Chains A and B, each alone.
Chain A
Amino acid sequence: MGLTLDTALLGAAVAIVLFAVALLYRVARGPTMEDRVIAINGVGTSTVVVLALLAAALDRPAFLDIAIVYALLNFLASVAISKFIVERGGVL
Chain B
Amino acid sequence: MTPLEYLIVLLVAAGVFFSFVAVVGIIRLPDLYARAHATSKSDTLGTVLSLAGVALVFGADVATVKTVFLLLFMFITNPTAAHAITRAAYDQEIEPWTEGED
**Chain A positions near chain B (C-beta within 8 angstroms):** 1-2, 4-5, 8-9, 12, 15-16, 19, 22-23, 25-26, 32, 34-35, 37-39, 41-42, 45-46, 48-49, 52-53, 55-56, 61, 64-65, 67-68, 71-72, 74-75, 78-79, 81-83, 85-86, 89-90
CB-contact partner of A56 in B36, B58, B62, under 8 A: B58
Complex contact B1–A90 (CB within 8 A): no
Whose C-beta in chain B lies nearest to the C-beta of A9?
Answer: B12
Residues of A within 8 A of B9 (CB): 5, 8
Within the complex, the shortest CB–CB distance from B69 to chain A, in Å, comes to 7
B85 and A34 contact, CB distance less than 8 A: yes
Point out the residue from A41, A68, A82 that lies within 8 Å of B73, measured CB to CB.
A68
Q: Which residues of B contact A64 (CB under 8 A)?
A: 63, 66-67, 70
Chain B residues lying within 8 Å of A26, measured Cβ to Cβ, are 26-27, 35
